[in-house]
Chain A
Amino acid sequence: QQQVKQSPQSLIVQKGGISIINCAYENTAFDYFPWYQQFPGKGPALLIAIRPDVSEKKEGRFTISFNKSAKQFSLHIMDSQPGDSATYFCAARGFQSGYALNFGKGTSLLVTP
């Protein structure tokens, strides 16, 4: 059972545009919501993360928006660049299973020149 649902599955954005990826969760015990970026042949790398006591976190061109009541969170990539082309995973974690991450299925982002 997928505990974190992610959409869209794939996304094409022009250079300079805004990329938006959405995730939803059901387990209210989750208290940590990271986004990972993965390039082909590499492992996932932590991009940005948020805890539910804040509604937004920004790091450079990357912003997480978090809606606790709706149990949804999203990643916004401003001024998208071709180098941002990668697969993005949202995840959620509580104390269960040794704080293991529950991942969404991933979004393949292509930023065209």
Chain B
Amino acid sequence: NAGVTQTPKFQVLKTGQSMTLQCAQDMNHNSMYWYRQDPGMGLRLIYYSASEGTTDKGEVPNGYNVSRLNKREFSLRLESAAPSQTSVYFCASSDQGNQPQHFGDGTRLSIL
């Protein structure tokens, strides 16, 4: 049982390049989330999708877009990467919003 799978695991980009981070869950969960983790900052919410077909901004959405492709998949896109977006990105899912969240192992993104 894979749970939440994120690809790629590592990526290096140059400033201005674009990229899509992929997330898929096999638990038939309704809600999905994207967080970023920076040293000494904890995890901060970028975007979330409470159910298939809906997406909403979180605490730090600037510079990102998301797509809830279907119930399983929730992608995060950086249109024009900036060094400030160097971070570890985590995707999470939960059955319903008020159920425990399960996290993937993250994508480590460096922007030069």
Contact = CB atoms under 8 A, between A and B. Distances in A.
B42 A104 contact: yes
A30 B4 CA distance: 26
Interface string A1-31: 0101010010000000000000000000000
B48 A41 contact: no
A34 B99 CA distance: 11
Contacts, number: 68
Interface string B36-52: 00001111110011100
Contacts of A101: 33, 35, 43, 45, 92, 101
Given A99-B94, A103-B42, A43 B103 contact: yes
B103 A89 contact: no
A46 B100 contact: yes
Interface string A84-97: 00000100010101
B83 interface: no
Q: What is the predominant secondary structure among interface residues of chain B facing chain A?
A: strand
A43 B42 contact: no
Given A43-B106, A46-B100, A95-B97, A100 B40 contact: no
Contacts of A99: 31, 50, 94, 96-98
Contacts of B4: 43
B26 interface: no
A49 interface: yes
Contacts of A6: 42
